[in-house]
Structure 1
């Protein structure tokens, strides 16, 4: 999926308090916060748990207003509420679990080549065929490559690209062509390893002949789909803040590098201890949330 990094997360609009939504039920406390800048979202605090609700514009089916409306409607029904919108479901399910109290350390796929990393993701969709070929060759065999085409290439372009490489050169090619029908055909003809991303939202992606990985963005899907045997689950970001990334990281195994290097684009975050994305790992030491940077809806 294609999106640019946010410019800055630090200038929050504290004037945009919405409507009251505090729930005191027995010993349970629920608070809802909003952050607003280039990226907007909600942070839900339920007892010791935190979840992020942040639809990704242009990719999520719901808007932030849709997500806010559903979240406000179910606050008084926690923990038994069953959200329908994917971003709300992911955020609520995350908040119902205590926020991690143990350090997290996971292998990480880098978005930019740098020292200490062995797995690198390259976005090729906007490049010409010739430029993409040259660009990829720069990083072989130094890195294990994941190539993301964002469904922007034709079948002919993708097949010509494949003629310049071996299938063993890549960890997988993510959505190399602009239709699911052509994706099946590309997979059948080349047997190159395929990563399914957009296809998971609407297509029978499990039928891809050379399927290697399911690239799952919990904010877009709401939950993790059933993964076929021997297929890698690659958990990936939808440009969440550190709170959402920690919620994704807690779902990951330590065997497959996660796609959470988007944190490197944030200039400021709400975790008192920032996440470290270096030396090939996504690492975090537990810390409280800094609510002073958030707009409390109260």
Structure 2
């Protein structure tokens, strides 16, 4: 990838802060840096705790999306799932109502400070709200150990799970759990073991998961993510990293380019926001594929405070330097 000068990124850079309906992944407001290149707008939004070396991969993805044509789309709409944060069970109908027409729900479990009983109540409420035809997947973000995960899978199996996402943190733990629960017929999906690993194919080689969750930003862009999917040889779910509509459009480009799309994608997360830079919430259970341009008024309305803008611009500069050192070494 040819690295554009930092000045070209800074020329159009806008930092936004999107308020959320419900606290999710430890945040009430999602910050992102957006910029425009020759091909359109892109998003740079690694989570704030990520170090520069990891965040630089997200910048490479954004530059690729803004500066280069993307792989050909094989579909113009992508079916998506609803996302249910670790809310009280009584709030589940309210959350699901924001995801128009979605037939699948991903439910967050293993929230620090909560119990398995809270998870069971939440998943039960999702099943009751969606009915027997709804599809339910749960995501533990690697927060269970193997014994806890096995116990939780047994407790949640009555709700007819589509799969369990990243129940444990390590590839070895996933492999052990998959062996233990294989007789139950509930697939294991890997997310962090792919996107946060120095070797995203390790989980596939170890046969530690039945499917992979892939995200365009942390995997370095659409083309690189497609290469990982091809090499892994497993079914995949394309998901977001709590992106703005701009980042979601990049995820949609990845989903649209896949030869097969066996699962609803985790790209409906715009419905978790109170406001966004453009409109890309689910309609009839799907989002459209195509470039998205932020609304000028929304960029102004959602502009981050000056100190946060400066923090992101400094981060952009540091990560650009990391990519530059890599290009020089190559």
Change (3 A) 1:48 1:176: closer
Change (3 A) 1:230 1:145: farther
1:247 alignment partner in structure 2: 250
Q: Which runs of 5+ in 1 are unaligned?
A: 1-19, 24-29, 68-84
Query: Which has the larger helix fraction?
Result: 2
Change (3 A) 1:98 1:31: farther
Alignment of 1:1-298 (within 5 A): 21-22=7-8, 31-37=11-17, 38-58=29-49, 60-62=50-52, 85-97=56-68, 104-112=76-84, 113-114=96-97, 116-126=101-111, 127-140=114-127, 141-164=132-155, 166=157, 169-191=160-182, 192-200=186-194, 201-202=196-197, 204-209=202-207, 211-222=209-220, 223-224=224-225, 226-227=228-229, 231-253=234-256, 255-271=262-278, 274-283=279-288, 288-291=293-296, 293=299
CA contact (8 A) 1:108 1:261 kept: yes
Change (3 A) 1:99 1:39: farther
CA–CA separation in structure 1 for the residues paired with 2:151 and 2:8: 57
CA contact (8 A) 1:108 1:260 kept: yes
SS of 1:220 mapped into structure 2: coil
Change (3 A) 1:244 1:209: same
RMSD across aligned positions (CA):
3.5
CA–CA separation in structure 2 for the residues paired with 1:153 and 1:163: 14
Offset of residue 185 of structure 1: 0.7
CA–CA separation in structure 2 for the residues paired with 1:210 and 1:170: 18
CA distances 1:110-141 after superposition (whole Å, capped 9, x unpaired):
11434622111000112422332343234443
Deviates more, 1:114-123 or 1:227-236: 227-236
SS of 2:177 mapped into structure 1: helix
CA contact (8 A) 1:110 1:259 kept: yes
SS of 1:184 mapped into structure 2: helix
Return the TM-score normalized by structure 1: 0.71
CA contact (8 A) 2:216 2:250 kept: no
Q: Which runs of 5+ in 2 are unaligned?
A: 1-5, 18-28, 85-95, 304-308, 314-330
Offset of residue 176 of structure 1: 1.0
CA distances 1:223-251 after superposition (whole Å, capped 9, x unpaired):
41522566222121112211111111111
Offset of residue 39 of structure 1: 3.4
Change (3 A) 1:171 1:207: farther
Change (3 A) 1:162 1:241: closer
How many residues were matched structurally?
250
Return the TM-score normalized by structure 2: 0.64
Offset of residue 213 of structure 1: 2.0
